[in-house]
């Protein structure tokens, strides 16, 4: 029996990893700007930023785990396997980008 | 009904089918050409128009180089010089680069996908006319001495009324917004067509890489353009009506312009680059005579590039005073964006390395691309490093970097693509060695002009300066740079002569002259108006293994839709992922409506430009009426059920299925609108955090009106849902539609009452201005909802809506759901603003 065709709405997942990357960047930028505007203590601002980044990284990591498992599932059509592979690799790339671009900066002085 | 090709006729089946299809698809002669909606015709027109703007912008660039060739030059006055360099940049980017890549997409995408046209041909034509008229307004302004003169990025407050009185800045804001309408309409068109109109069997994993690039680019445009459109609307509202969004003396924030501009501006570099990378990824395997290396890796890379390019807009603003920690985010992000770019460059190099490359003119330009683009990319990485950027910011180093990136990403691949697809466009092959001569002159001229600008920049020469004294050490470099500019221009002149000779005297090109495997070569040269006599089904091998055999088979009508029916322009709609056929799409015939709507839109823009606001409003109403009129001619006035499409298959028309092109177009439109809305929320919060000193009193808004507005929106959305349910149940819900209109009218009047009572007044302070913008957004969407509903009533009366043809009411439901959700969010922020201002008083 033929497997059902991959639903078009699954295509949104192609952008999920980097959408989370963008979300992490914008949220960190906004919270940092607001924290500096309202003169939050350096330690608590840094902690808040780190927590926000961690939350995003956990979200990307969880999606990676989920799609990696789905890839190993039975009954994959060629198009399904292709889309899953692309989703998994965009998630990997997004996670690595998030760590490199956003994590080291949190060690810098917060508001100068 | 279906008229099949008669094999017993004396005429060959292929010729007979060709005549029948030509009669249906061809654009008429003479003035009827103005009614053209065919993608091939519009694509070629866009290409010619964009090259015309390129030539004008090139001449303007030459004038700036004449002015800067020697110190203390009085070749131009400072006022004229400002207009010349501003229009040079504006025209190169907005009127040449973006439309030119779009023209490639418009002309090639349907052919490469194996379909006959785009999903909305009238929208393609409307987009073209908007582009032509908007570009003409900007060009003519130069002749009348009222061209924009604040730089192509129009930074505020320089471009505000105080420092730029007159209409110069308005020309930019209105003309470019007009052109952006064109870009967005084409972007929606491209996304829908790629997702729904591929050749059957072309699943996403077997889609030519060209289509992946164009799909991602069109999606980027959908998200990138709205912030700039919003910025232009806000600045024009400030200039025309005094709403101080960017005026720091009244609480506005000039840096908001830079944020919104670069949220568009940085991704735009990749919006230009990706289609040209599509050209390279298509051409290189053909010349290397092997498959592209790393198809999947490239798909991952372009998705990554699309997102990363949005996340690094602040690297254009490293010197505006952002804290180091935030600068580090954007600096690292800007460096990382080089990785997915490099993945593609290495994939191309690997393809060449593993293949047996043959040399021809397109390969020369590909060599030029590698050299120039890698140079531009490396200086980009240098500028991504904050300390270096602080040194080089606003110097000629940045000008050099930008020209290397744009020249490498755009000009050289574009010329490679032009020579590659010229046999397809003209049906003629190259005649001489002039192409090679033209390449070398352009290549040498380009590097002489722009490489030296790195050095003048490092020696401290600021960009945008009118002249210099002569003792700075820039004289020789500037003179050589200007000479390089002339050499490059001579190269382009030789190229134009070469193209002319090829088109006029070239011998007939043999079919598929490069031995390519993409579908655009599986047709006659030059392509007929209907592109494919019948639609191919892609086999397991992906592209056509034997293009000649496939072409003959398709010409004989052996694919899908290999016959004519009712004089309809037919195309196939497929499942978005698997590419299986699922609907018959009947496309509109040539019509003057796009031209007339374009003229009316131009009249509305000109009315605004000359501050005749009531006249402008009148023309805007005409535009809306024309759009409603266009909608009345779409679809079928009765249920048709499944119709045969060949190969023993029958599918229903697109009006009778879910997931039809108009529905996906609505989703794209809502994404565009949602991005604009998000930008507005960002702008409101940015103005709020930027407030300094004691903010003005901002009393709580009139909560009764807020409640009426919110309830009216919710009621309208609920009745629209009920109308759809009633239609599906077999009723014709005219009464429900009328009630929805009533609810929206209540919402509009409540919203207008709210704006009239905003304190501080919208013209007095940015807080009032942003509050009125939030409510104005809601009112605008309620008015658009009214237009949807009026169209629904007319189409119900005309018999275009039925229990099976529910598309109209589904579109209206989608719009009103969106209006209610965004309306409630906007009203929430509107109510919260006084409280937020109160927080500021606690933390001055």
ipTM of this predicted complex? 0.95
Binary contact (B308, A6; C-beta < 8 A): no
Minimum Cα–Cα distance from A87: chain B residue: B300
Those residues with Cβ within 8 angstroms of residue B814's Cβ, 6 or more apart along the chain or in another chain: B663, B666, B667, B670
Q: Would you call B428 helix, strand, or coil by DSSP?
A: strand
Report whether B645 contacts B572 (CB < 8 A).
Answer: yes
Binary contact (B303, A14; C-beta < 8 A): yes
User: Over the stretch B472-522, which tens digit does the pLDDT of each residue have?
Assistant: 999 999 999 999 999 999 999 999 999 999 888 888 888 888 989 899 998
Structure tokens at A110: 């917060």
Instruction: Looking at B459-529, list the stretches that DSSP marks H as alpha helix, in order from N- to C-terminal side.
Output: 475-505
Please give the Cα distance from B121 to B185 (Å, whole number). 11
Binary contact (B300, A86; C-beta < 8 A): yes
Please give the Cα distance from B686 to B674 (Å, whole number). 18
Those residues with Cβ within 8 angstroms of residue B399's Cβ, 6 or more apart along the chain or in another chain: B450, B453, B457, B463
Binary contact (B577, A7; C-beta < 8 A): yes
Chain A residues closer than 8 Å to B684 by CB: none
Q: Would you call B149 helix, strand, or coil by DSSP?
A: coil
Residues B347, B351, B353: CA angle, nearest 5 degrees: 115
Residue A1 pLDDT: 44
- Inter-CA distances, B13 with B10, B17, B380, B535, Å: 9, 6, 57, 16
| Regions of chain B short of the pLDDT cut 70 | 1-10, 540-547, 841-844
Q: Which residues pair with B651 in a beta bridge?
A: B643
Binary contact (B577, A79; C-beta < 8 A): yes
Q: Which residues pair with B644 in a beta bridge?
A: B650
* pTM of the full structure: 0.95
Residue B220 pLDDT: 96
> What element of type H or E holds B585?
strand B581-587
CB atoms under 10 Å from CB of B424, counted, come to 23
A49 CA to chain B: closest CA distance, Å? 11
> What element of type H or E holds B163?
none
**Residues of chain B with a CB closer than 8 angstroms to some CB in chain A:** 195, 203-205, 296-297, 299-300, 303-304, 306-308, 310-311, 314, 323-326, 328-329, 332-333, 336, 340, 575-578, 580, 659, 685, 689, 843
Nearest to B791 by CA among B555, B626, B577: B626
Q: Tell me which residue in A37, A83, A93 faces B204 most closely, judged by beta carbons.
A: A83
Binary contact (A5, B324; C-beta < 8 A): no
Structure tokens at B673: 């609108």
Chain B residues closer than 8 Å to A4 by CB: none
Q: What is the DSSP string of B527-583?
A: PPTTS-SSB----TTSS-SSHHHHHHHHHTT-SBT-SEETT-EEEEEE-TTT--EEE
How many inter-chain contacts (A to B, CB under 8 Å) are there? 117
User: Over the stretch B148-203, which tens digit does the pLDDT of each residue have?
Assistant: 999 999 999 999 999 999 999 999 999 998 888 889 999 999 999 999 999 999 99
- Asked whether residue A2 carries a pLDDT value surpassing 70, the answer given is no
Residues in chain A: 112
Residue B509 pLDDT: 87
Residue B85 pLDDT: 96
Q: Tell me which residue in A22, A29, A32 faces B307 most closely, judged by beta carbons.
A: A22
Please give the Cα distance from B653 to B642 (Å, whole number). 7
Chain A residues closer than 8 Å to B329 by CB: 25, 28-29, 101-102, 105
């Amino acid at each position: 029996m033929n497997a059902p065709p991959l639903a078009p709405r699954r295509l949104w997942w192609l952008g999920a990893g980097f959408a989370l990357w963008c979300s992490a960047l914008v949220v960190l930028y906004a919270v940092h700007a607001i924290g500096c505007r309202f003169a939050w203590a350096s330690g608590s601002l840094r902690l808040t930023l780190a927590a926000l980044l961690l939350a995003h990284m956990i979200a990307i990591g969880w999606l990676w785990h989920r799609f990696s498992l789905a890839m190993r599932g039975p009954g994959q059509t060629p198009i399904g396997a292709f889309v899953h592979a692309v989703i998994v690799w965009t998630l990997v790339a997004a996670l690595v980008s998030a760590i490199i671009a956003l994590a080291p900066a949190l060690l810098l002085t917060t508001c100068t | 009904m279906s008229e099949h090709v008669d094999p017993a006729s004396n005429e060959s089946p292929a010729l007979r089918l060709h005549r029948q299809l030509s009669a249906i698809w061809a654009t008429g002669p003479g003035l009827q050409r103005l009614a053209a909606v065919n993608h091939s015709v519009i694509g070629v027109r866009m290409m010619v128009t964009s090259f015309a703007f390129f030539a004008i912008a090139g001449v303007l660039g030459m004038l700036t180089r004449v002015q800067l060739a020697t110190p203390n030059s009085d070749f131009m006055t400072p006022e004229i010089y400002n207009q010349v360099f501003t229009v040079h940049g504006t025209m190169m980017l907005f009127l040449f680069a973006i439309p030119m890549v779009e023209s490639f997409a418009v002309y090639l995408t349907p052919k490469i996908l194996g379909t006959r046209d785009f999903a909305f041909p009238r929208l393609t034509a409307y987009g073209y006319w908007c582009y032509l008229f908007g570009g003409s307004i900007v060009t003519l302004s130069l002749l009348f001495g009222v061209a924009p003169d604040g730089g192509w990025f129009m930074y505020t407050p320089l471009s505000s009324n105080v420092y730029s009185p007159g209409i110069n800045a308005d020309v930019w804001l209105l003309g470019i917004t007009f052109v952006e309408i064109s870009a967005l309409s084409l972007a929606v068109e491209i996304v829908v067509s790629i997702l729904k109109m591929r050749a059957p069997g072309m699943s996403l994993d077997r889609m030519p890489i060209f289509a992946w690039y164009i799909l991602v680019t069109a999606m980027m445009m959908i998200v990138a353009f709205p912030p700039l459109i919003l910025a232009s609307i806000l600045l024009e509202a400030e200039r025309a009506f005094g709403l101080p969004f960017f005026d720091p003396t009244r609480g506005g924030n000039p840096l908001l312009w830079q944020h919104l501009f670069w949220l568009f501006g940085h991704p735009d570099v990749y919006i230009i680059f990706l289609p040209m990378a599509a050209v390279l990824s298509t051409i290189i395997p053909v010349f290397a005579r092997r498959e592209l290396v790393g198809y999947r890796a490239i798909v991952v890379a372009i998705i990554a590039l699309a997102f990363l390019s949005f996340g690094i807009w602040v690297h254009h603003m490293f010197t505006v005073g952002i804290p180091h920690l935030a600068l580090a985010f954007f600096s690292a992000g800007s460096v990382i964006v080089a990785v997915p770019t490099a993945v593609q460059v290495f994939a191309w190099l690997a393809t060449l390395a593993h293949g047996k490359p043959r040399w021809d003119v397109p390969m020369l330009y590909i060599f030029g691309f590698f050299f120039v683009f890698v140079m531009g990319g490396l200086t980009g990485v240098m500028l991504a490093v904050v300390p270096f950027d602080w040194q080089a910011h606003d110097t000629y180093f940045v000008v050099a970097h930008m020209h290397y990136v744009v020249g490498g990403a755009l000009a050289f691949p574009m010329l490679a693509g032009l020579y590659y697809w010229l046999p397809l466009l003209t049906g003629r092959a190259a005649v001489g060695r002039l192409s090679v001569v033209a390449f070398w002159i352009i290549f040498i001229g380009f590097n002489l002009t722009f490489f030296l600008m790195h050095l003048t920049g490092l020696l401290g020469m600021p960009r945008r300066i009118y002249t210099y004294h002569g003792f700075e050490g820039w004289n020789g470099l500037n003179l050589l740079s200007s000479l390089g500019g002339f050499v490059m221009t001579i190269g382009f002149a030789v190229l134009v002569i070469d193209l002319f000779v090829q088109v006029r005297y070239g011998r007939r090109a043999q079919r598929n002259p490069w031995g390519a495997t993409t579908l655009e070569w599986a047709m006659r040269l030059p392509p007929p108006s209907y592109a494919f006599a019948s639609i191919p089904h892609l086999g397991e091998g992906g592209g056509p293994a034997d293009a000649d055999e496939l072409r003959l088979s398709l010409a004989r009508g052996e694919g899908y839709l290999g016959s004519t029916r009712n004089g309809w322009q037919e195309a196939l709609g497929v499942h978005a992922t698997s590419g299986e056929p699922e609907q018959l799409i009947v496309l509109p015939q040539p019509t003057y409506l796009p031209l007339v709507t374009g003229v009316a839109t131009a009249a509305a823009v000109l009315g605004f430009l000359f501050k005749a606001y009531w006249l402008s409003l009148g023309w805007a109403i005409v535009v809306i009426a024309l759009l409603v009129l266009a909608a009345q001619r779409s679809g079928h006035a009765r249920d048709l059920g499944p119709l045969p499409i060949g190969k023993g298959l029958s599918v229903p028309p697109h009006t009778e299925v879910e997931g039809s092109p108009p529905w996906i177009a609505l989703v794209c439109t809502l994404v565009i609108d949602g991005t604009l809305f998000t930008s507005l929320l960002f702008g409101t919060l940015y103005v709020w955090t930027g407030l300094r000193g004691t903010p003005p009193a901002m009393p709580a808004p009139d909560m009764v009106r807020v409640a009426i507005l919110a309830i009216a929106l919710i009621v309208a959305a609920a009745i629209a849902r009920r109308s759809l349910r009633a239609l599906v149940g077999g009723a014709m819900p005219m009464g429900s539609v009328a009630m929805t209109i009533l609810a929206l009218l209540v919402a509009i009047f409540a919203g207008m009452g709210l704006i009239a009572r905003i304190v501080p007044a919208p013209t007095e302070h940015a807080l009032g201005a942003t509050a009125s913008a939030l409510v104005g957004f809601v009112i605008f969407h309620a008015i658009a909802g009214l237009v949807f509903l009026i169209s629904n009533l007319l189409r119900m009366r005309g018999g275009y809506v039925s229990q099976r043809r529910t598309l109209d009411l589904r579109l209206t439901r989608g719009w009103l759901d969106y209006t209610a959700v965004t309306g409630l969010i906007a009203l929430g922020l509107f109510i919260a603003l006084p409280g937020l201002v109160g927080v500021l008083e606690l933390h001055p």
